[in-house]
Chain A
């Protein structure tokens, strides 16, 4: 009963639809995806493409998970802001949410840094993709104009953003907005802190790619790391602007 066919056969094999027995095969039932064959072999070009694709899908699913985490926090933020709490001594509801005074100038500078880092990372990603076409043929790529060390620049900007966030926290602390001062500040630190932690994860991946030459990482792995992290990084940038918008427009 068990039949296995050769790979050559696989690719010619028509795709059939239909569920149970006796169903008329139809094309609509074929629900996308590739044909699952183990086409990826390490060491050749298609393998690197496969790995890239795998990485991108992994990051996409990961982004879905991270989004849920922040959606959960956003909902909690909204709920907490709009619900009073019952004070047993005063015998009445108290709205204790105090709008936090955001240090806008610092936050805008940080946002700018993050947006810039997204742009530089995108450039790094594109230049690396171009270089890889030469790398697979074992040719030293010609130096293109505007081929700056974009990756290192991104890492620098990433660190600058994190440092900027620490400065923001310091400013708020100096104004008395401690983590425990008010629910608004608790949420501020929680949202920005978790965002920073997630961004730091991306930064580690970028550092891995940037130090690839010392770690003796193959160029193709380096390129995949940068490509995949770029998607994540853009998402982190978008997420930051969502958080910023939430903190600004739903200040309370």
Chain B
């Protein structure tokens, strides 16, 4: 795209241009990473406040509205700005071109635009803390009519407007960057990098790109319609006959269910947008650290695509309790159960990959195994919740909270940690401490299980979710000790993340210098020195003649880099 002279010119440009206003995919990846780090810290503090308030309502005294606004902001920050930002846009922007052997994303400027739009969206969302009334109360799902009426609560005025603007911008930013994730793997693969030689991470980023492009468009449409309801007097989502504070609401005939359909048509693929890159990454790491090829690579690719496709057909399972036609419920239930099949295929393939492997227990391995464990633990309640009859009972209880926090939040987080420990040497040129990494892993693993496992019991016992305070309800009061345990576990887990932050920032400056390929990995990014040079592969594209997971069963035969010279017995066609 640029001639050599312009590259050397670019290298001489100011720091501001090199590290801030840049179209370099590597810098953009790191920018996304730090954006998500900021979001996850805020989100974690919010969750600690909520947990404290649930068990000790006087400790952080807050109005119920404030509690709800914390629920909204925690969910929005974590789902949008952490789980769907860093695995896809953060690590994807950085490593997709490198793993494909390309010098850049296909549209570098679009990539940069995606980041800046996302940053703007983040700032708009955070601004809601500082407006009169505070942030929105309607949760990350923003169900209408609560979200459509400014008089419905303190955060439902400007706070909700900001939420909608922020999510509109986020949709735009995500779609803009998704274009790159779709086009780059199609057009920018290095010579010899056939589709079936792409690392599974690249497959996951590609499928997720398609999901983002299609799902966020619908969310954008829904957000525009909700904005019209709020400010132009339309009635898409607001039903007639509402009376609020003694005054009839000037809307008629809208359908709140329409919002739910539109939202969950986005919302369910969104779950896979968060978890598919994580699954691709774990497939990759399990193979690297078990020193074995991925068990049935092609089936893994097929499973990834199947999950992506089925992900668009199951949104109704979020709405079983909304009074849907039983036949529709049955269809959604069957499809939801069906999506467990490719997910289980992936799990079994991870286990088969590890089986009889020579597993190296480094920090990324620990977090990968933790991911699989949490994915199974959270996934097993999926088919339970997929039954409309069972879902009707546990839907509004902590059971669902436990389910999605284990499978989406915790599993996603473990994948992010695994990726951070794994790629840190390539991103920053230094190694992270293995000892602190192990400490961090065990604290987080025990913390995650002790926080979310008891929530299943709370849910089965009928403890409703979303309430700020349930004093005076007898059967709920009996569960107070368990709730206290959960809170303590959550706070210990959050404090445990200080170990990660210490490790991260200490290693950034003082960690031992990393070699080019510290994990003895086969993919192309490890053929470059660490940290990745600014020019990446430069003018010389690597030539790929091997699959991504050529680890030999005999240790002495080692492994084959993707860009190693072709084997002698390899037939050339």
Residues on A lying within 8 angstroms of B by beta carbon are 1-7, 9-11, 13-21, 23-27, 29-38, 40-43, 47, 50, 54, 57-58, 61-62, 64-66, 68-70, 72-73, 76, 79-80, 83, 85-89, 94, 96, 178-180, 183, 186, 190, 194
Q: A36-B101, A62-B179 are in contact. Are A14 and B221 (CB under 8 A)?
A: no
Taken together as a complex, chains A and B put the C-alpha atoms of A19 and B203 apart, in Å, by: 13
Q: B542 to chain A: which residues have CB within 8 Å?
A: 2-4
Q: In the bound complex, do residue A33 and residue B297 qualify as a contact, i.e. CB atoms below 8 Å apart?
A: no
CB-CB under 8 A from B221, the residues of chain A are 69-70, 72-73, 76
Q: How would residues 493 to 536 of chain B score, 1 for a CB under 8 Å from any chain A CB and 0 otherwise?
A: 00000000000000000000000110000000001100000000
A-B contact pairs, 16 of them (CB 8 A): A3-B543, A3-B564, A16-B545, A18-B196, A18-B547, A20-B297, A20-B550, A21-B550, A29-B196, A36-B187, A36-B193, A47-B1, A72-B217, A179-B232, A180-B234, A183-B235
Select which of A4, A13, A14, A83 is within 8 A of B537 by beta carbon: A4
Q: Within 8 Å CB of B214, what residues of A? A: 64-65, 68
Residues on A with C-beta less than 8 A from B241 are: 87-89
> Which single residue of chain B is at the shortest CB-CB distance from A55?
B107
- Chain B residue numbers with a CB within 8 Å of A17 are 194, 196, 573
Of the residues B175, B188, B549, B564, contact of A20 by C-beta under 8 Å: B549
B12 within 8 Å of A (CB atoms) = no
A25 in contact with B3 (CB, 8 Å): no
Contact between B539 and A38, CB atoms less than 8 A apart: yes
> Could you tell me the dominant secondary structure of chain B's interface residues?
loop
The answer to whether A7 and B253 touch (CB under 8 A), given A20-B549, A64-B213, is no
Beyond A20-B550, A72-B221, whether A85 also contacts B254 by CB under 8 A is yes
Most buried by A among B106, B217, B228, B235: B217
Contact A87 B240 (CB under 8 A): yes
Q: Is the CB of B255 within 8 A of A85?
A: yes
- Interface pair A80/B240, CB less than 8 Å apart: no
- Residues of chain B in range 285-320 having any CB-CB distance to chain A below 8 Å: 293-294, 297-298
Enumerate B235-293 residues with CB–CB distance to A below 8 Å: 235-236, 239-241, 252-255, 257-258, 261-262, 265, 293
- Interfacial residues of chain B within 523-573, with CB under 8 A of chain A in the complex: 527-528, 537, 539-543, 545-547, 549-550, 552, 560-561, 563-566, 570-573
A182 and B458 CA atoms in complex are apart in Å by: 45
Q: B233 within 8 Å of A by Cβ?
A: yes
**Known A9-B543, A16-B573, A179-B228; contact A36-B293, beta-carbon cutoff 8 A:** no
Q: What is the predominant secondary structure among interface residues of chain A facing chain B?
A: loop
Question: In the complex the two chains form, is B560's CB within 8 Å of A21's CB?
Answer: yes
Residues of chain A within 8 A of B233, CB atoms compared: 178-180
Asked if B191 is at the interface (CB within 8 A of a chain A CB), the reply is yes
Out of A19, A34, A41, A76, which one reaches B262, CB within 8 Å?
A76
Whose C-beta in chain A lies nearest to the C-beta of B558? A1
Q: Say how far A177's CB is from chain B's closest CB, in angstroms.
A: 12
Tell me if A57 and B106 are in contact (CB < 8 A): yes
Q: Which residue of A lies closest to B552 (CB)?
A: A21
Judge if B182 is at the interface, Cβ distance under 8 Å.
yes
Q: Does B100 contact A (CB under 8 A)?
A: yes
Given the known A-B contacts A25-B570, A180-B235, are A10 and B194 also in contact in the complex, defined by CB atoms under 8 Å? no
B539 adjacent to A180 (CB under 8 Å):
no
- A68 near B213 with CB under 8 A, answer yes
Question: Out of B194, B218, B258, B265, which one reaches A31, CB within 8 Å?
Answer: B194
B569 to chain A: closest residue by CB? A22
Interface pair B183/A15, CB less than 8 Å apart: no
Q: Are A179 and B175 in contact (CB under 8 A)?
A: no
Query: Is A20's CB under 8 angstroms from B543's CB?
Result: no
User: Smallest CB–CB gap between A184 and chain B, Å?
Assistant: 11
**B390 interface residue (CB < 8 Å to A):** no
Complex Cα–Cα for A38 and B541 (A):
7
| Cβ contact within 8 Å between A18 and B197 | yes
Q: B225 at the A/B interface (Cβ < 8 Å)?
A: yes
Given contacts A36-B193, A180-B235, 10 further A-B contacts (CB under 8 A): A14-B572, A20-B297, A23-B547, A30-B195, A35-B190, A57-B106, A72-B221, A76-B258, A96-B240, A186-B234
A10 touches B541 (CB 8 A): yes
- Checking A3, A72, A89 against B218 with a beta-carbon cut-off of 8 angstroms, the contacting residue is A72
B547:A79 contact, CB within 8 angstroms: no
Among A15, A58, A186, point to the contact of B192 (Cβ < 8 A): A15
Check if A13 sits within 8 Å of B225, measured CB to CB.
no
B107 and A36 contact, CB distance less than 8 A:
no
Q: Does B9 touch A at the CB level, under 8 Å? A: no
B102, B192, B253, B293 interface centre (most CB from chain A within 10 Å): B253
A183 in contact with B566 (CB, 8 Å):
no
